[in-house]
Structures are given as C-alpha cells and as structure tokens.
Amino acid sequence: MFKKILIANRSEIAVRAIRAARELGIKTVAVYSEADRESRHVAMADEAVCIGPGPSRLSYLNQEAVLSAAKNTGADAIHPGYGFLSENADFSELCAQRGIAFIGPPPAASRKLGFKSAGKAVALAANVPVVPGTKGDITTDVSKEVAAIGYPVLIKASAGGGGKGMRVVRAPAELKPQLEAAATEAKAAFGDGSVFIEKLLEHPRHVEIQIIADHHGNVVAFPERDCTVQRRHQKLVEESPSPAISPAIRRDMQAAAIRLAKAANYANVGTVEFLFQDGKFYFIEVNARLQVEHPVTEAVAGVDLMELMIKVAAGEKLPFGQERACEIRCHSIEHRINAEDPDNNFMPCPGKIESLELPGGAGVRVDTHVYAGYTIPSEYDSLIAKLIISAGDRPTALRRSLRALGELKIAGVKTTAGMHAKVVAHPVFMSGDFDTHFIEKTGLLDKKETAHV
C-alpha cells in the first residue's frame, strides 16, 4: 500500500480523497494555488505545498509543479480527483516515468476510451450499442453519410465535454456552416478542432454505469446512475437506481460496460455513459476518472469507491464480484449545490460565506470544502457542496431531499439549493417520467413575473 498520497486537486474532492487516505492510514499532501490558501483541504492534509498563482493553468494544471511537489514531499502516489489533470494520459504517463503511482486508469486505457470518437470504435468492436453516427473525426464531405443516419443530427467536439462545441443540425443546408462553427468553437475551448456527428435522440435519458477494474483482470459494474436532469448539458440532479430502467435492461447495461472495460484493458474507476430512449440504450462516452456523482453509487451499493480506487491502484484485487456490486440497497439522490445566482442566468456568485448551517440526520451526507467565513474564489468551478440523500425507496428519498435542502442555510452568497427543491417537488420529477429536456419543458427555471397580491 502507498505511504503518502499527493492530492492534485482542490475543493470537496480533495477533502474526500484526504478522508479516504486517512482511513487507510496513508499520509496526505495537499497542493494549492495562492487563491486557495484558506481552503479546507490545505488545513486537513498532513502537508501542503503551494504550487502556483490562482489561474489553474499555472497551478493545478502545472504538471511539473505537481510532480516537483510530490518529489519534495516523498509522495509515492498522486490522486488526481476530477477535472484538472484527472483525464490527462500524458500526465499519468509522466507520473509512471517518475516512479509515482497515478490513482486512476492507465494511460493506454484512458487514451483508448477518453476521446469520444476513439471510445466509440472500441464500443463497436465490443458489441456495445452506439448512437448511429460518422465513423470518426470529420475530415471530408459527409453529407451522404449524414443523410443515411437521418436528420436531426448532433455535432460534437471529439475532445469535448460540458456541452461546448455541440450543434444541432435539422436540415442538410445547415450542415456545412454548423460544422465550421462547431470546429471553431471546439478549437477555442479544447485546443482541438476535431468534431464528429451523431444522430440526435430527441427525448433520451442520461443513464451511466459506474465500473471498477483491478489489475488482475476483474471488472465489476454497479447499479446505474440517472443524470437526466441537466441544464445546458450540465448535470444538476443525479439519482440511483433510475426510475426508468428495468432489471433486465440494467443487467444488459452492466454487461455492456464490463465488455467495454475488458476490450480496452481498463483498470481503476470509470463511468460508461449511455443515452436511453424507447427501451434501448446507446453508448456515448467513458469518463476515465472518479466522477462528481460517485457518492450516489456509494450509497446505493454500500461501497467506498475512493478507497477501492486507491487499493486497486496499489495492486490489490477487487474484494467482491459482480453479484455483490450490483446489489441495490437503497435509493439515493445527489444535489450539486453551486454558488450561482438562479435569478441571474446562473452567474457564478463567488464571495464570503457569512454563515453556514449544513443539513444532517438519517440518510443525509454532505461533501463540502466550505465553512463559515470561507471566501469562495472566483477562479474555479462554483460547486460548493454535494448533498447525498439516501432512503429505502424513491418517494421517501424525495421527501428527505426536501427536508435536507430546507435545513441548508448559507448566508453571503447565492446558491442553487432552492432550484433543487423546485426540481424535487415538481410533479413530473416525482412521476419519474422525464427526459434530458426536463428543465426546458417544465419551464422550471424560467423567470416568473413578480406578482403582488
């Protein structure tokens, strides 16, 4: 087992990693930017190293600074968290060259699956259903190919995520200009203008399967997470199990995810994302990292994914098989609480947290790095806390969500907590029958005219 882990991240996920390491008796090193001096992960870790100024590219994305900090402190492993360097195969390769274990998938596996179009090729070879689309990155005239797929189609950035570089094309005449616009946008956002095309599913759900694989050929797949409630392709609410997935479909999805992992010689944690519509699921991509919403699976399956990924990276075998992994022990929902202003187009709302009361009680877990008196820096993501609710069944979980959201009191910054309560209390959400356009279709976040009675 590792002696000392450096956590190359910030915020709640750094806190999460430090907690898991401490439970395993492993020392921790936090790295931080000048803007994060007051962050909780810095105070919690056994050691902390300042690696650069506020902007991420000069600190959290500075590979040499992170690796030098690992060398200076004698860390024998690096946990990348999510975002930043977590899916950078060049970085994980560099870790290996310096004799430091990277707690995540091996570079070859993340290269095979990390790029969306490359992942699709592996999926096709492993007999995993994919959304019909172009064979790879678009380099020539594809108008005939797209006509065969059938409009409407979606243009996506190969290196993308978070909805950037995505374009809907409904008619042949729009194809060329939209392709050019998408390539420009992708180039600006990711430094890579490669794009590809897929058939647009009009009313899908977003359902994903968490997997973990050890270095001894064992792979297990957990119950699905349903991340259908999104705003501009950003997940808002995640739950497990999905109200739309039957036991038979679940088994098929898990089997498909395991086939894909084996085909790519995958190791460590990963998430296989699918779209689900009209009883069929289609592979879209693999997230080769631990995801924000991993605690939902931890609650439902009764496992500790953070601990497991550390153990697997250290060469240990998975302690259980598929039968144990697919157990559903409760219903769980995660609410991402962001410091954003719902009344002002969700503009990030950094600032000082004047006072803070966190919810608690049965079935309520809060993962956060913030505290009363903490100033949220403007440089980074606006996620400030995750509420993970669990209960015996979905209706109870929803009631518990509302109770916990009501207990959460943050003064000084605006948050999305109220919006989560609106989602949970909405009859369509309660019914379980909705698609990824839930927010737009219900008009839930549209500004209301202020009526005074």
Is-contact 405 199, C-beta < 8 A? no
State yes or no: residue 72 binds another protein (CB under 8 A). Answer: yes
Nearer to another protein, 94 or 258 (CB): 94
State yes or no: residue 57 binds another protein (CB under 8 A). Answer: no
x/- mask, another protein, residues 19-38, rule CB under 8 A, reads ---------------x----
Strand, helix or coil for residue 419: helix
Q: Are strands 101-102 and 77-79 parallel, antiparallel or unpaired?
A: parallel
> Minimum Å distance from CB 67 to another protein?
4
Convert 48-98 into a string of H (helix), E (strand) and C (coil). Answer: EEEEECCCHHHCCCCHHHHHHHHHHHCCCEEECCCCCCCCCHHHHHHHHHC
Q: CA 318, CA 312: separation in Å to the nearest integer?
A: 7
Q: Which stretch binds another protein (CB under 8 A): 71-79, 203-211, 321-329, 363-371?
A: 71-79
Is-cis flag, bond preceding 152, omega within 30? yes
Nearer to another protein, 34 or 341 (CB): 34
Per the annotation, the verdict on 231 as an active-site residue is no
Instruction: Using CB under 8 A, pick the residue from 28, 56, 73, 92 that binds another protein.
Output: 73
Instruction: Using CB under 8 A, pick the residue from 51, 142, 155, 308 that binds another protein.
Output: 51
> Minimum Å distance from CB 43 to another protein?
16
Contacts of residues 67-71 at CB distance under 8 Å and 24 or more positions apart, as own/partner, are 67/94, 67/95, 67/98, 67/100, 69/6, 69/29, 69/31, 70/6, 70/29, 70/98, 70/100, 71/98
Nearer to another protein, 77 or 219 (CB): 77
Contacts of 227 (CB under 8 A, 6+ apart): 206, 207, 208, 235, 237, 238, 293
State yes or no: residue 53 binds another protein (CB under 8 A). Answer: yes
Instruction: Using CB under 8 A, pick the residue from 11, 39, 56, 59 that binds another protein.
Output: 59
Angle at which helix 107-114 crosses helix 89-97, to 10 degrees, equals: 170
Catalytic: which of 167, 250, 289, 336? 289
State yes or no: residue 70 binds another protein (CB under 8 A). Answer: yes
x/- mask, another protein, residues 78-107, rule CB under 8 A, reads --------------------x---------
Alpha carbon 39 to its chain centroid, in Å, reads 22
State yes or no: residue 69 binds another protein (CB under 8 A). Answer: yes
Give the Å distances, CA to CA, from 297 to 293, 326, 391, 422, 439: 8, 10, 13, 24, 24
Q: CA 80, CA 36: separation in Å to the nearest integer?
A: 17
State yes or no: residue 152 binds another protein (CB under 8 A). Answer: no
Phi, psi of 355 (to 5 degrees): -150, 155
Contacts of 396 (CB under 8 A, 6+ apart): 331
Is-contact 192 112, C-beta < 8 A? no
Q: Which of residues 409-438 bind another protein (CB under 8 A)?
A: none
Instruction: Using CB under 8 A, pick the residue from 17, 36, 52, 77 that binds another protein.
Output: 52
Instruction: Using CB under 8 A, pick the residue from 22, 43, 68, 307 that binds another protein.
Output: 68
Q: Which stretch binds another protein (CB under 8 A): 43-51, 234-242, 254-262, 316-324?
A: 43-51
State yes or no: residue 176 binds another protein (CB under 8 A). Answer: no
Q: Which stretch binds another protein (CB under 8 A): 49-57, 310-318, 403-411, 445-453?
A: 49-57
Instruction: Using CB under 8 A, pick the residue from 5, 15, 29, 49 that binds another protein.
Output: 49
Nearer to another protein, 34 or 174 (CB): 34
> Minimum Å distance from CB 6 to another protein?
11
State yes or no: residue 344 binds another protein (CB under 8 A). Answer: no
Is-contact 57 88, C-beta < 8 A? no
Instruction: Using CB under 8 A, pick the residue from 65, 118, 186, 310 that binds another protein.
Output: 65
Q: CA 204, CA 114: separation in Å to the nearest integer?
A: 22
Structure token pair of residue 209? 């399967």
Alpha carbon 358 to its chain centroid, in Å, reads 23
Q: Which residue has the tokens 């990924």?
A: 309
x/- mask, another protein, residues 291-330, rule CB under 8 A, reads ----------------------------------------
- The residues that are catalytic are 289
Residue ranges in contact with another protein by CB under 8 A: 34, 49-53, 59, 64-65, 67-73, 98
